[in-house]
């Protein structure tokens, strides 16, 4: 029987979320997507107009089908928490039911259950600032959007996840090694995400037989990464220094994610898997 996946954090065809969706679709999963509210219109319009059709092609030649796109802002757990100015904001006013709790309820109403939960989102408003120059609000916003968002998604989706289900998120090595330029508390947010991967693996493993893993991915020229400002340098650094001196394709991360949420990985939980051409293993650049 085909599995159903909910992938949070797709707004174009350049990021890891899109690649994960494709790998899961190629393996036969039904794809549901959660798209950040301010990016929803352009994503849906582009999808409808065929702008992504070339990137929708699966290995068998068919096109990936996205069954439904839900508006989502993973910074808000329920409607009661949404401030008036956000409700009134014209980028939000056109959509509804986009808090984490409401999205989980909508998915339950539409489909009953899911098997796979993917978290492929992050946001740090002060990411270009060094940690020492990051404001309290900027730091907490990074943690809220990039770390707690996973806790919240898992919490609200676990009740509709089938036993044997699995979740996966995306992290970055700046959590454990110094990567100057990955600022604004984003390095801290990834450290929290990785630690939470272990604690949550325990909690939902014991209670619900659900697995939780995270992929520490190498650099990809996604929309989010371009906003940080140093992505080309990181890609060049990896090409020069990693054990595998090749471009890292988003599909390679997509395939690893598809493995991790599949029965092939049925004993793997609470882990960080590096999909980075091996760069994490280097001690010095040579």
Binding site for ligand NAI (CB under 6 A): 9-11, 14-17, 36, 39, 72-75, 120-123, 145, 170-172, 217, 219-220, 222-225
Cβ-based neighbours of 255, under 8 Å, separated by 6 or more: 23
Q: CA 185 to CA 128: how far, in whole Å?
A: 10
Judged by beta carbon, residue 89 or residue 162, the one nearer ligand NAI is 89
What does the DSSP 8-state code read for residue 57?
A: B
As measured in angstroms, the least distance from the Cβ of 120 to ligand NAI is: 4
As measured in angstroms, the least distance from the Cβ of 184 to ligand NAI is: 12
- Decide: 24 and 258 in contact? Cβ < 8 Å: yes
Q: CA 11 to CA 14: how far, in whole Å?
A: 9
CB atoms within 10 A of CB 151: 17
Please, is 174 exposed, middle or buried when counting C-beta atoms within 10 Å of its C-beta (0-12, 13-18, 19+)? buried
Q: CA 24 to CA 40: how far, in whole Å?
A: 22
Place of tokens 């709790």: 101
As measured in angstroms, the least distance from the Cβ of 16 to ligand NAI is: 4
Judged by beta carbon, residue 104 or residue 208, the one nearer ligand NAI is 104
Pairing of strands 161-171, 114-119: parallel
Q: Which of 258, 182, 249, 244 is nearest to 213 (CA)?
A: 258
As measured in angstroms, the least distance from the Cβ of 210 to ligand NAI is: 20
As measured in angstroms, the least distance from the Cβ of 228 to ligand NAI is: 8
What sign for the dihedral angle of Cα 88, 89, 95, 98? Answer: negative
**Which residues are 40's β-sheet partners?**
none
Residue positions annotated with a catalytic role? 172, 182
Judged by beta carbon, residue 45 or residue 266, the one nearer ligand NAI is 45
Q: Which of 172, 281, 147, 169 is nearest to 230 (CA)?
A: 172
Judged by beta carbon, residue 8 or residue 160, the one nearer ligand NAI is 8
Judged by beta carbon, residue 160 or residue 279, the one nearer ligand NAI is 279
């Amino acid at each position: 029987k085909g599995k159903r996946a909910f992938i949070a954090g797709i707004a174009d065809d350049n990021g890891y979320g899109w690649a994960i969706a494709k790998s899961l679709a190629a393996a036969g999963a039904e794809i549901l997507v959660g798209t950040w509210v301010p990016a929803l219109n352009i994503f849906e319009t582009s999808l409808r107009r065929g702008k992504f059709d070339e990137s929708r092609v699966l290995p068998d030649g068919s096109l990936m089908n996205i069954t439904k796109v839900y508006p989502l802002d993973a910074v808000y757990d329920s409607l009661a928490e949404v401030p008036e100015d956000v409700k009134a904001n014209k980028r939000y006013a056109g959509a509804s039911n986009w808090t984490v709790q409401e999205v989980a309820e909508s998915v339950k109403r539409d489909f009953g259950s899911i098997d796979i939960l993917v978290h492929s989102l992050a946001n740090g408003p002060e990411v270009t600032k060094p940690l020492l120059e990051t404001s309290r609000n900027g730091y907490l916003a990074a943690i809220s959007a990039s770390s707690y968002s996973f806790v919240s998604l898992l919490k609200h989706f676990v009740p509709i996840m089938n036993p044997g289900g699995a979740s996966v998120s995306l992290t970055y090595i700046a959590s454990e090694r110094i990567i100057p330029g990955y600022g604004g508390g984003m390095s801290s947010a990834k450290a929290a995400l990785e630690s939470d991967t272990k604690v949550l693996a325990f909690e939902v493993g014991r209670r619900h037989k659900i697995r939780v893993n995270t992929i520490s991915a190498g650099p990809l020229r996604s929309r989010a990464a371009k906003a940080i400002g140093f992505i080309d340098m990181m890609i060049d650094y990896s090409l020069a220094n990693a054990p595998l001196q090749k471009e890292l394709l988003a599909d390679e991360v997509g395939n690893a994610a598809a493995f991790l949420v599949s029965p092939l990985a049925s004993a793997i939980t609470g882990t960080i898997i590096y999909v980075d051409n091996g760069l994490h293993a280097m001690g010095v650049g040579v």
